[in-house]
Structure 1
Amino acid sequence: MTGYIIRRLVQSVIVAIGVLLIMFILQSLLPDPARAILGVKATPVQIAAFNRANDLNKPFYVQFAHYLVDVVWHHNLGTAYQLNESVGSIIARDAPKSLVLVGVALAIAVIIAVPIGVYQAVRRNTVGDQAVTAVSFLLYSLPTFFLGQLLILFLAEDFHLFPAEAPQGVTLGQILSDPIALVLPIANLVLVNYAGYSRFMRSSAIEALAQDFIRTARAKGLPERVVLFRHMLRNALIPVVTLIGLSIPAIFTAGLITEALFNFPGIGSDYVQALVSQDYPLALGITLLVAVLTVLGNLVADILYAVLDPRVRYR
């Protein structure tokens, strides 16, 4: 297992470098950000000085090499153009808020989706199963921004149950001090992710219930509760763990849209602002963070295989 984890970590580093390389290539195709940063009244001399100070006058592969050296050896992600602040400090300040938002929503979505998926598998093709399936399909088909607008329209504007805007604050403690304002952003992410997980859990549970070991457990006279939660659930969760690991990029994408929609002061809002203002260092730093979290999420999913299924061994 140790050797496998080391190999996967090496692969993760290669993937992160590949993501950064693609970002640098795309960045080289975009207009010079000096004009966007300095304004329309900037003189050619000022633009040239800005490009020299930020290595923007050099080929992209030279910029890429310098960036890798700064990240690996100096642990420096650069300085954001607009805020004139180190990218590392911005990420350290805002990333915990986004991780809490996405993490809580993901946990709630899984907690809801797993028992509902098991219920649908046990009661498949009944009225209850069809009703839950219809709701899941409806939620799955709704875009994140549209679902969020519906939540704001009905729960905030019409019924005044929750604030339409997420809590505002610089620190994580200030964000958590207003939990009521977190309800709509978290609910938006929960509903988006629940639909896919519940459908996948239903299919996985139906497949597990058709296996011989389930029939053997029932033939021994074990209670249905023991059959479902001790024998079936552990095997049915293996594909779901894979889905969660692979869906981390989509979760962060939905989180980015949710943050922009509810004005949540997290890393997603920083990313949108960086793209709008052509703040390349900040955009690259956040992209690197998401890439690292994605590969680590997949690594954790692989390790959980061995926990859920003792037959799985990595050599």
Structure 2
Amino acid sequence: MVGYIVRRLLQAVLVVFVVTIIVFLLLHSLPGGPARAILGPRATALQVQQFNVANGLNQPLVVQYFTTVGGWLRGDFGFSYVLNQSVGSLLVERLPKTIILAVFALILTVIVAIPIGIYQAVRRNRTFDYVATGLSFIFYAAPTFFLGLIMIEVFSSYLGWFPPEAPQSNGVVPIFQDFSAMVLPIVTLALLGIAGFSRYMRSSVLDNVSQDYVRTARAKGASSSRVLWRHVLRNALIPIITLLGLSLPALFAGALITESIFNFPGMGLLFWQAAQQSDYPVEIGVVIITAFATVIGNLLADVSLAAIDPRVTL
């Protein structure tokens, strides 16, 4: 087990290393270089030269790479000249909000999707199974921005149940003080996951129901409910663990659109505004943090799967 974890750690480090190289090369492939991209087209040649010297951009690329990556590891992602604030402070301010949105969306996804998938498998080829399958396909195919606009139109404009805008606070605590404003963003972000997770759960339960250990348990006189909840469910949940790690990129991508629709001041909205204003240091900081989170999520999923399922070959 220890050797498996070490190998997965090394693979994760390799992936992060490749991502940092790609991001670094993309930054230096911008027209006119990083200085011209950050300072803007009106910057004079002297200003560009002074910027390059001040930020070490006159050094060889190899030296620049290790200097840049060293800064990223220390939490130094540069300075946003558009917002007149360090990128690190912006990420510290916005990242907890995105984490709250993603965590609650993931919790809602698991709570709703797993029972739906189980009931679909138990009642397969029945009315509920057909209806749930149809809704899953609709939510899975619908763009996030479309779902968000529908949520605002129905539950805010028409019914008036929830505010159309997420909490506009600078801290994390005020979010929980006005949590009703978080309902629509959380549900919008969770709908796509519910559609996918329920389908995987249905397939996993159906696969396990046909296994020999289920027939053996029934032959020993175990009731259908005992077989389902004590035997089938435990094994059917194993693929969901992998999905939890793989869902992190989708959560962050969905958060970008969801935060933009509901004007939620998290990392997604920060990235959206940075893209509109060509604020490259902020964009790079968000990309690096997202890449780290994705790699860590996949690593934890792999290790958890190996620890829970003895059938996994380490």
Whether these two folds match at TM > 0.5 is: yes
2:130 matched to 1:124? no
Find the residue that maps to 1:189 and give its secondary structure: helix
Match of 2:55 in 1: 54
- SS of equivalent residue, structure 1 residue 247: helix
Residue pair 2:38, 2:280 contacting (<8 A) in 1 also: no
Q: In 1, distance between residues paired with 2:273 and 2:55?
A: 19
Q: Give 1:127 deviation, angstroms.
A: 1.0
Query: Is the 8 Å Cα contact of residues 79 and 87 (structure 1) preserved in structure 2?
Result: yes
CA contact (8 A) 1:108 1:190 kept: yes
The question of whether the paired residues in 2 share the 8 Å contact of 1:36 and 1:277 is answered with: no
Structure 2 residue aligned with 1:221: 221
Counterparts of 2:132 and 2:154, CA distance in 1:
22
C-alpha contact 1:35 1:42 (8 A) present in aligned 2: yes
Aligned to 2:82: 82
Please name the residue that 1:18 is paired with: 18
* Match in the other structure for 2:203: 203
Q: Which amino acid aligns with 2:49?
A: A
Correspondence list, 1:1-315, <5 A = 1-32=1-32, 34=35, 37-38=38-39, 41-56=42-57, 60-72=61-73, 74-312=74-312, 314=314
Amino acid in the other structure paired with 2:284: L
Q: Aligned residues, how many?
A: 313
> Per the alignment, do residues 75 and 39 of structure 1 end up closer, same or farther by CA in structure 2, a change over 3 Å counting?
closer
1:39 Cα deviation (Å)?
5.4
Q: Which moved more, 1:45-54 or 1:206-215?
A: 45-54
Deviation, structure 1 residue 125: 0.5
Conservation of the 8 A alpha-carbon contact between 1:28 and 1:60: no
Whole-Å Cα distance in 2 between the matches of residues 153 and 52 of structure 1?
Answer: 52
Whether contact under 8 Å (2:117, 2:198) holds in the other structure is: yes
CA distance in 2, matches of 1:310, 1:59: 49
Q: Match for 1:286: what amino acid?
A: V
Q: Following TM superposition, by how much is the alpha carbon of 1:218 offset from its aligned partner in structure 2, in angstroms?
A: 1.2
Output the CA distance in 2 between the equivalents of 1:62 and 1:146.
45
Unmatched tracts of structure 2, length 5 or more? none
Shift in CA distance, 183/133, structure 1 to aligned 2, threshold 3 Å: same
Identity %: 49
- Residue deviations 1:183-206 (CA, integer Å, cap 9, x gap): 110010111110011011111111
* CA-CA distance at 1:129 after TM superposition: 0.6
1 CA distance for matches of 2:297 and 2:142? 26
Q: What do residues 245-294 of structure 1 show as CA deviations (whole Å, max 9, x unaligned)?
A: 12211111011111111111011112222233333332222222111211
User: Which runs of no fewer than 5 residues in structure 1 stay unpaired?
Assistant: none
**How many angstroms does 1:13 deviate by?**
1.9
Normalization by structure 2: what TM-score?
0.92
Q: Match for 1:209: what amino acid?
A: V
- State the alpha-carbon separation in 2 of the partners of residues 75 and 40 from structure 1: 28
| TM score, norm. by length of structure 1 | 0.91
Give distance in 2, aligned partners of 1:115 and 1:85.
46
Change in 2 beyond 3 A, CA 1:52/1:84: farther
Residues 14, 179 of structure 1: CA spacing in aligned structure 2 closer, same or farther, 3 A cutoff?
same
User: Would the aligned equivalents of 2:37 and 2:280 in 1 still touch at CA under 8 Å?
Assistant: no
The 1-side partners of 2:250 and 2:211 are apart by: 32
2:156·2:164 contact (CA, 8 Å) conserved in 1? Answer: yes
Deviations 1:180-231 (A, max 9, x none): 1101100101111100110111111111111011111111111222111111
Residues in 2 aligned to 1:256 and 1:25: alpha-carbon distance in whole angstroms: 24
CA gap 1:254/1:289 in 2 versus in 1, 3 angstroms? same
**Aligned mates of 1:3, 1:275 — CA distance in 2:** 42
Describe the SS at the equivalent of 2:79: coil
Larger displacement relative to structure 2 (127-136 or 277-286): 277-286
Amino acid at match of 1:63: Q
Aligned counterparts of 1:133 and 1:153: Cα–Cα separation in 2 = 25
Q: What code does the residue aligned with 1:193 have?
A: G
